[in-house]
Every structure is written in C-alpha cells, then in structure tokens.
Chain A
C-alpha cells in the first residue's frame, strides 16, 4: 500500500520570471483508491500531474512530494526500512517511474521508429533495474544498459534483461486482451498514427504493463466517444482492482466518473485544492459549475 503525499506544493514555470502556477497544493492518494482532481482550465491540474512525474518545464519553489512505500508494494521484494519514504523532488523522472509513479498523458508523444513492444519491454526492464538500484544500491550491468540497446530498433534488444522477449510478448498479449486491444498494436510504432482513443487506450495498457503504485491520468477522457470511454474506464478500474493501483484522475467532466467511480473528489482553483469530498461533489459540479465553489472559498477567506 503505497501513499503519494503532496504537501504545500508551490511551483512556477521554470524560466526567468516564470508564472507561479501552484500555490499550496495538498493531496494524498493511496494505492487502491480512486481520486478525481477537477477544476476549470488553468487551475493547475495538469501542472500538478507533470510535477509529480518530474517534468523539467516546472520549478518547485516550496513544499514536498513524498512517496511512502510498504512491504507489499513490489511483490516479493523486501523493501529495506530506511528507504520506505522518498522525496520525489530529489529523483529523476525515470527513478520516480521506477518507484511506481505513472503519468498518463493528455497528449501522448508519437514516436516513429520505436515499436510498442520494444519500447514497453525496454521500459519494463529499465524499471526493474532502476528499482533494485534505488532500493538496494545494486548497479548490475547498469553501465552496459545505459549504452543503449545494441541491436535493431525495430526488433528490440537481444540482451534479454529481466524480462525476455517471449515472456514479454505473452504478458503484453494478456494485457491487451484484458483491454480489448487489437494485437496489431504490438508491432506499430509508439502512438504513431493512433487515433485519439487508441492513444488513451495505449496509456492504460502501459500502466497495466508497468504496474505502478500510483497512476496520475491527465484528462484521459478527453476526446473519447462513448464506446472508447467505456473501454478506457474498464481498463482504469482493472488497474485498481487487479493491480491495486491508486488512481489520480484529472478531469474536467463528470462523464468518466460514471464509469470510474471515485472514492474522493478534489476541486482545484487558482493553484490550490480548495475543496474535497466524495463522489457526490462531482455531481454537484456538473449541476452547478465552479462558481459556487469559488464563492464558498472567497467567503471563507
């Protein structure tokens, strides 16, 4: 049961005189829980998600993002007591991912020339390596690995790493079946030429493969038709139910929350989480918009 704890997070755009965007965000997401983070455009939702993952475009000026790990978080791995709490702000993005943070992008990158299969197996092996290095200080073959794979970018690494080609193919097939995805995706280039819906489904597939403790999904519902929305929602629920992933679902609309029922709903305004509640809060927003929250906050202030 991992816990992502965001405390008093302040951040700005990382350039000279960069705009201050986050002004004290507090949030706690445990694995196995589903949280919805809602708010109008420009309130800081996407920025929060990118900062959790370590996007270099933002600079944290105050506050902390902590990840607390527990015994059962990495299957058979025995996590040493002294490395159970991590300050994510001190870690590189790939290290955060290795410890179980996953960011689902609103606009996933399209990468020509790198197949889905190759990319995901490389990512999975990199995750396993990095995690062991972080937890136990082991650096086996790390230098060699960093030199990149030394074979075809179309076929992937011959060096098997932890998860070999055959084993990975099997895993990928299973996960794709679970998400009703066509096997043809396996050999396609990463997101290249995918429709909007296919890209979002692919984000969920990647989370299913990498098995994060906490998945932050940035507007994964945008641009989806009803069928695709249901497919993606089914995938998100499976992440929680079968892998125990904690979900931080960033969304504008209640629509996806009909299929992915949140345990907690948070409302962000002007760079802060100003109100939290249960699923009914999302329905209130749908009915009444954000103005009443804004009024409530200003009155209280």
Chain B
C-alpha cells in the first residue's frame, strides 16, 4: 500500500532545499526523480503473521510529521588525519564528481516510499572518503535532531587497501511537542581490500518515528561490518544490508536493541552473496521490557554463482516482562550447493536457574537480573571497535535497567 503524497511536498519545496544548498544540477534531478516516484512507491514490506501485520507504517501521518523546509540539526564530525569527513553539502564542492559517481549507487533511492522521501528531502548527512592505503581510525559523527522532521544521507567511499571505523550517533535536541520523524540513508562503497566498520547508535526521544536503511557494497577482499544499536524512538524501522559483490569479501551485521514502555522495533538484517568465497555473519541481540514489541527479519541470500559461501545468522530476544512481544523470522535462500550456512532465532525470558545461581551467591535478584541482561549484550559489545561507541551503548543499556 502506498502512502499519499502530503500537500507540503512539491517540486518547489525540493527545489528550495536544493537551491539553499547550492547543489549541482544532477543532485536536484535525482531529488526530483525521487519525488516523482513517490506517487507509485509502496511502503517497506513488514512481517506478517496470521491475523497480524506487525509494523503499522500506514499509520504514519506524513502530512503532520514532515516539515521539509524547517529541518534543523547540530552535527559534529571528528575526522582522523588523511581521511575526508565533511558534511554532505560541503563535500559537494570539492568531491562532487566522486559523490555523483556513487550517490544512489548502493541504495536504490526508489526502493520504497520512505527511501524516495528521504532522497528528495534530505538536508543533512556526511561524506566519508578514505583514500588508498589510509587507515582512518575512529571517525565520529554525532548528530542532534532539532526539528519536527530530519532527513539525512551519508555516503562512505573507501579506496583500495584503506580502512575506517565510524561511529554515527543520533539523539534528540530541542524538545518539540508531538510526534517527529527521522530518516537516515547510508551507503557504503567499500573498495578492493578495504575495511569498514560502521557503527550506528540511535537514541532519539520516544515521540520520534525512525526509518533507516543502511546498505553496503563490497569489492574483492573487502569487508563491511555494521553495528546497529537502537534504544530510542517510538517506532524504529531499521534495515541493514550488504551486497557481497566482490570475491572473498565479508560482512558482519551486528545488532543490539533494547525497547521499553510501548516502543516498537522492526529490525532487519539482509545479505546477498553474489560472488565466490564470501562470508557473512549476522548477530542480533534484543531485550524487551514493559509493553515493548520487536519484529526481526534476517535474510541470507546465496546466489547461483556464489561458490564456497559461508553464511551464519543468529538472533536472540530476551523478554523481561510478560507484556512484551517478539517475533523473529530468519530466512535462508540458497541457490548454490557449495555453501556452509546456518540460521537460528530464539525468544525467551531470563533463565530462572541462571538467576537462582547468581542469587544463591549473595547477589540481590534485581542486580543479578541486570548482570544477566548486560551480559546478554556482550557478544555485540565485543564487536565494537570504537571505544567511545561501546561505552555509550553500555551506558544506555545500564541506564535502561531498573
């Protein structure tokens, strides 16, 4: 089902956004094409179980959520030497050709209604460019959303034999009554034999609806590792995807979420093995408290020519209250017999025997439960290479525990 085009979205609106940033013609055209496509595009697919459609994106009222000309953010960017880390708009001056080459090359801007909306309206975002053989450690991008709606587009390009670790964090700044909408598209173009770890931490206030699509494309021998942390937002729809297009390339998609109150999390991890000797590892750990709900879909798609593939997927959800709900759908699509693959998902509560074991050693029950929950996230925490990101995530998890 497609959403109706809100009255406040028009060619003039898009032109005004583009003019204000003095953008090149090609980018304006891309925005206008995305805008035009909105009429035809559908909202993203959501998981359905008998009698139930888990995430109700149709209920989003874009008319009131989206205020395209009043977008405001405060974003700080920390760049290591030798790497280029600029706001998307600033980067257009100096790296316009490179951006033109890759913009929309990894994420099809017309994937769905929400991606097109984002492409048409984005005003913020970051361009990260790591030249050949440069090791860029700890790029830090911290953004604060200060308006009713905010659209962001980030492009990461790594050249041959380079590497980069990135922390991107988003939180709410100014208080605004009523609902808000944040949209984030991230494209990673990993050059031959390069390495990217892209860590993302979403901690928006719980009046905010969030959509993000992060997608990477690997070249030969390259690696893209995603760490996706979701704690904030009223409704989170998060898609993290890698296309393993280069021979012997690898990806990890590591996710952590912790929902409470009536938060809703719809998280998805997908990987396509399109080349030989590719490896993927999908690990997601989620905790739900109160009346929070989660739905997870993981897809490992092994192509016909992807000989000698290794592909693994695990998703575990821990529920702390009887009122919380979770559904998980791990999927394995194999078109090639030379594949080693596994997938599993579990939904459960804190193990009573584990709890009793700890309590019988003097640890009070609540503290023992908290230790178990924090320990549950450790496999995710261990993957994080940017220390500051790991500390932030740990703190947010600890703060959420009673």
A: residues with CB less than 8 A from B are 53-56, 92-94, 96-98, 102-103, 105, 108-109, 111-114, 118-120, 122-124, 126-127, 130, 145-154, 189, 206, 210
Contacts and interface: CB of A to CB of B under 8 A. Distances in A.
Contacts, number: 120
A67 B354 CA distance: 26
Contacts of A98: 362
B357 A146 contact: no
B372 interface: yes
B20 to A, nearest CB: 44
Contact of B375 (A96, A111, A130, A206): A111
Interface of B: 351-354, 356-367, 370-372, 374-379, 381-382, 390-391, 394-395, 398-399, 401-402
Q: Across chains A and B, which 7 residue pairs bring their CB atoms closest together, nearest first?
A: A113-B375, A113-B378, A148-B370, A153-B374, A127-B362, A109-B357, A97-B362
B362 A153 contact: no
Contacts of B361: 97, 102, 119-120, 123, 206, 210
A14 to B, nearest CB: 12
Given A113-B374, A113-B376, A153-B394, A94 B381 contact: no
A52 to B, nearest CB: 10
23 contacts: A55-B356, A92-B365, A94-B359, A94-B360, A102-B361, A109-B354, A109-B358, A119-B358, A119-B363, A120-B361, A122-B363, A126-B362, A126-B363, A126-B367, A127-B362, A145-B364, A148-B366, A149-B367, A153-B371, A153-B394, A154-B381, A189-B375, A210-B362
B372 A111 contact: yes
A145 B365 CA distance: 12
Contact of A53 (B360, B372, B376): B360
Contact of A149 (B377, B398, B402): B398
Contacts of B391: 152
Contacts of B374: 113-114, 148, 153
Nearest to B285: A113
Contacts of B356: 55-56, 93, 109
Given A114-B371, A153-B375, A153-B378, A94 B395 contact: no
A151 B370 CA distance: 12
Contacts of B351: 109
Contacts of A124: 362
A172 to B, nearest CB: 14
Contacts of B376: 112-113
A145 B362 CA distance: 13
B362 A113 contact: no
A154 B393 CA distance: 13
A97 B360 CA distance: 6
A48 to B, nearest CB: 15
Given A109-B353, A151-B394, 5 more contacts: A112-B375, A114-B375, A122-B363, A149-B371, A210-B361
B373 to A, nearest CB: 9
Nearest to A53: B360
B362 to A, nearest CB: 4
A53 B376 CA distance: 26
B362 A130 contact: yes
A15 to B, nearest CB: 13
Among A118, A122, A124, A206, the most chain B Cβ lie within 10 Å of the Cβ of: A122
